[in-house]
A and B are shown apart, each in its own frame.
Chain A
Amino acid sequence: GENVEQHPSTLSVQEGDSAVIKCTYSDSASNYFPWYKQELGKGPQLIIDIRSNVGEKKDQRIAVTLNKTAKHFSLHITETQPEDSAVYFCAASIEARGNNRLAFGKGNQVVVIP
């Protein structure tokens, strides 16, 4: 099955700087790549996703890039704020026949230092 890995496991950044989290996946058939943010005591919340027919997607301070050849994708957060502190999970799946089963990475703890 699909195997997703995330690096680094913990990332500390100064408020206002950028944060980048990278993920690699193993199954070249994967075509859907979401990112989730999980705050303490809450479930994961979808923040952005990308499909394999595009290379980059942006939503305000958040962007995701996808390199299908190298099988990796990255989350970019610009102008970080304290409320960006959370655990971020990347995931991958093969969207087919309504199956949205996601394979998740182990998560990155992002700490934004005021």
Chain B
Amino acid sequence: EAGVTQSPTHLIKTRGQQATLRCSPISGHTSVYWYQQALGLGLQFLLWYDEGEERNRGNFPPRFSGRQFPNYSSELNVNALELEDSALYLCASSRRGSPLHFGNGTRLTVT
């Protein structure tokens, strides 16, 4: 079974630009979760998508947004990038009632 795949693995952007991160869930999984892992802060919940709808949102500004497509893949968009957005962005997928399975993340660097 293929795991959660994320692209790109690394992304370098300039402050003020926009970043788009992509995630493909495990086949059969309908939920996608996005987490931010900044140095020393653990994993912070960003967004939860299920069946194409945004179900829950963490304590992040509106410039963090995303969507889930009919094939259950997902995009995370970060607008007006700031230096403190530099982090590892992790995507996880699950079926209802099953554990979260994480991808290897996208390392976003904002200069």
Residues of A within 8 A of B (CB): 34, 36, 41-46, 49, 89, 91, 95, 98-107
Contacts and interface: CB of A to CB of B under 8 A. Distances in A.
SS of B interface (majority)? strand
27 contacts: A34-B99, A34-B100, A36-B102, A41-B104, A43-B90, A43-B92, A43-B103, A45-B102, A46-B100, A49-B99, A95-B97, A98-B31, A98-B97, A99-B48, A100-B33, A100-B94, A100-B97, A100-B98, A100-B99, A100-B100, A101-B45, A102-B43, A102-B45, A103-B45, A104-B35, A106-B40, A106-B41
B105 A43 contact: yes
Contacts of A103: 45
Interface residues of B, number: 27
Interface of B: 4, 31, 33, 35, 40-45, 48, 50, 55-56, 90, 92, 94, 96-105
SS of A interface (majority)? loop
Contacts of B33: 100-102
B90 A107 contact: no
A96 B62 CA distance: 26
The 7 closest A-B CB pairs, nearest first, are A43-B102, A98-B96, A106-B42, A104-B43, A43-B104, A44-B102, A104-B42
B55 A99 contact: yes
Nearest to A41: B104
Contact of B56 (A42, A91, A99, A105): A99
B104 A42 contact: yes
